Amino acid sequence: MASFEKILTAILDFDLKKLNPLYQGFFSMCCFAIFVSTCSYFSNEAKISKEAYSYMFNEKYSGLIVKKYLDKNNRMSRTFKLKDSSKIYGYSALWKKAEIGDSLVKKGNSRFVKILKKDTVIIFDMNVEFKYHDTFPENKE
C-alpha cells in the first residue's frame, strides 16, 4: 500500500513548469494529438453509421437467398445473392440467422427485415444494428 501512496503522491506533485521546455512542448503536442484523434474518430463513426442507416432504411428487396458469401471485391463484406441476381449486404444480425434457401423481405422506408424460413418467420428491427437511428423519419404502417 505504501508504494501506491508513493506513486499517487508523485503524480499529484507533478509540475509541468519544472520540465525542460523541449519536454513541455512534446507533452503538449502529444495531448493535443490524442484529443484531435479521439474527436475525429468518434465524429467519423457517427457519420458513417448515419449514412449506412439511411441507405438501409430506404433499401427495398425481396427474394430467395441462393448464395451467401464474403465479397472479395468489396472488402470481404457479407453478401447475399438473391434469386433475381441482386446482391444484398448482410448486416451482422441477418448474416448469423439467414441461410441459403431462406427468403429475405424488406419494404422501402422501413427498418424491419423479415427472414422467411420453411417453418418460421424472423423479424429483425435494424435499429438494434445501428447506433444513430433517431434522426430519420419512419413510416409506422
pLDDT tens digits, residue range 57-111?
889 999 999 999 998 888 888 999 999 989 988 888 888 899 999 999 999 988 8
Q: Structurally, how many domains does the chain consist of?
A: 1
Burial of 59 (0-12, 13-18, 19+ CB in 10 A): middle
| Structural domain for 51, as ranges | 1-141
Distance CA 80, CA 98 (A): 9
**pTM (predicted TM-score):** 0.59
What is the CA angle 74-126-41, rounded to 5? Answer: 60
Q: What is the pLDDT of residues 99-140, one digit of tens each?
A: 999 999 999 988 899 999 999 999 988 877 776 455 545 444
Q: Which of 22, 57, 77, 64 is nearest to 132 (CA)?
A: 57
